[in-house]
Chain A
Amino acid sequence: MDATSDTFVSSPTDFPSTPPVGGAGKRPHVTIRGLSKRFGKTVIYDDFDLDIPRGELISVFGPNGCGKSTLINMIAGLIPIDAGRILFDGMLLSEIKFGYVFQNYREALFPWMRAFDNIAYPLKLMKVPAAERKARTEALVERLGVKIDLNLYPYHMSGGQQQLVSIMRSLVVEPEILFLDEPFSALDYEMTLFMREQLQKLFIESGTTMVLVSHDLEEAVYLADRVLLLSRHPARVADFMPVGVPRPRGDETLSDPEFVRLKAHCLEVFQREVRRG
C-alpha cells in the first residue's frame, strides 16, 4: 500500500487515460494498472490491468492457487503489492471506506464482544460517539431486516449467523466497496444457500460495489453481475463475463437457460485455463 502512496498523488488529471479494461462503458470504480506480485520465485501477477465497475457485484473465479484471494487482499491492502497502482475513483485505499469479510468468521469476530458490539466496533474506531454508534447499528439491522439475537456472543451463534454478523460489521461504515473472501465456504450447504440469499438482499438493498472470491462456480455466477475468470498464474483476465440474468434471482434462476448457458461458458473457460497449466 505504501508503494503507491509515494509514487502517486491523487488528482483528477492522474486518472488513468488507458481505456477501461473489461468494464464495458461504465465509469470504473476501481482501476488497477500494472499490478505485479510475486511470492518467492513464483510470479502471481505480472503487469495486470483491470477495471471494476461501480455498483456491481463481481465474482472472482479461477483455478486453484491462481491468486483469487491474493487479488482482493492486494486491493484491500492486506498484502503489499510489488508494483503497480490501485485507485478507487482516483483515490487511494486510505482515503476511502471499505469493508472486508473473511472466510474464517470464527477468527474474524471478537468473541469478547456481543454481536451488536462487534457490528458497531468499526464506528468506534472512527470515533463515532456511543449514542450514534448504537443508533447507526440499530438502523442497519432494521434496514437489512436481520432477525437474530444480537445480544448473544458470537460463540453462541451458528456459523451462518456469525458470518452474517461479520458482513454487517463490514457494512456498518457504509463502505464504498466490500470485499468478500470465500465468505460461505466454511458453512454447510443449507446455510450456504440461505446466506447467498442474504448477500443478494444486502447487495440489492445497498448497491455497494462488491468483489467476491468464490470457489463454487454456481455461486459465482448466481451472485454476480460480472464474473472475473482468471488464468493460472501469472494471472491474466481469461474472461470478464457479464451475467444479464435479472434480479432478484432465486431457485428458478438455477434452471434459467441463460444462467445455464453462462455457467457452461465459464466452465469451458475454466477448463481451458486448467489444461493450459
Chain B
Amino acid sequence: MIRRLDAFLPLIGVVGLLAIWSLVTSRQWVDPVLLPSPAETFKAFWKGMDGGALGFDFVKTVYRTTMATAIAAVIAIPLGILLGSSERLYRSLEFVIDFFRSTPASAMFPLFLVLFGVGDETKISVAAFGAILVILFNVAYGVMNARKTRLLAAKVMGASRLRVLFDVMLRESLPQTFVGLRNGVSLALVIIVVAEMFIGSQDGLGHSVFEAQQLFDMPRMYAAIAAAGALGYGLNLLFLTIERRYVHWSGK
C-alpha cells in the first residue's frame, strides 16, 4: 500500500514549496511587490501562455534552442566520431577543444555580433558554438572508451574496420553521446536566454523576463522564469526519454 504511493513522492517537494511560498506571501513576510503570490503568478503564466506574449516568447526560445542544438549535433557528432576513432588525432586537438570548452560562451557574444549582426543568427550560433564543444568532447570520449573486448570480439569475427566503426564503436559511444546532447541542450538554453536579454532582442523568454523586470511587472517576470524552468526540464526529460527508448543498454 505504502509502496504504491511511492510514485507520488516527487509531489511532496512541489506541494511543500507552494505551501511555503503561499505562507510567505499571505503573511507578507516579503514585500508583495518583490514576491507575488503563487495564484497571481499562475494567473500571469496562464494569461501569457494562453495566446499571450509569453506563449510567443516561449515558442521563440524553443525554436532558437532547438536550432542551436540541432546545428551543434550535426557538426559535433560526426566530428567527435572522427576525432574519437583516432586517439592521436584527438590528443593533438585536445588542448584547443578544452580551451574553448572552458571559455564562457557569453564572452563570445561581441565577436559573434560583429560576425552575424543582431539577428537570430548570432544567438543561435553562439549557443551552437557552446553546445558543439560539449557534444564533441563527449562523443569523442564515448568512441575512445569503447570496450576493447567488444572491438576485439567484432574483429575476431571478421568485421572490417568500417564495420567495427559502425556496428560497435558508434553503438558503444551512444550513451556518452546522449550525456553530451543533454549537457549541450542545457547549455544552449542558458546561452539563448542570456542572449535574448542583452543583445538587442525583441522576443524570447530572456527578453520576457528582462522586460517584465524593467516594467516592474513581477507576476509576469516570475511566470517567464517558470516557463524557462519548465522548458529546461522538459528538454532534459525529452532527451532522457529518447535515450531510454533507443539506448536501452546504457549503464547496464
Contacts and interface: CB of A to CB of B under 8 A. Distances in A.
Contacts of B150: 107-108, 110
Contacts of B171: 110, 112
A127 B171 CA distance: 20
B233 interface: no
A24 to B, nearest CB: 29
B157 A125 contact: yes
Contact of A122 (B148, B158, B174, B249): B158
B175 to A, nearest CB: 10
Contacts of A104: 149
Q: Which of B155, B157, B168, B249 has the most CB of A within 10 A?
A: B157
Nearest to B150: A107
Nearest to B248: A153
Interface in A87-133: 100, 102, 104, 107-112, 121-122, 125-126
B149 A108 contact: yes
Interface residues of A, number: 20
Contact of B147 (A78, A107, A126): A107
Contact of A125 (B147, B163, B249): B163
A250 interface: no
B: contact size bracket: 20 to 34
B156 A78 contact: yes
Nearest to B159: A125
A153 B157 contact: no
Nearest to A77: B156
B158 A112 contact: no
B19 interface: no
B149 A107 contact: yes
A112 B150 CA distance: 12
Nearest to A94: B158
B252 interface: yes
B249 A112 contact: yes
Given A153-B248, A155-B249, A155-B252, A108 B153 contact: yes
Interface of B: 147-150, 152-153, 155-159, 163, 167-168, 171, 174, 247-249, 252
Report, nearest first, the 8 A-B pairs whose CB atoms are least far apart.
Answer: A111-B249, A107-B149, A155-B252, A107-B147, A108-B153, A100-B156, A122-B157, A112-B171
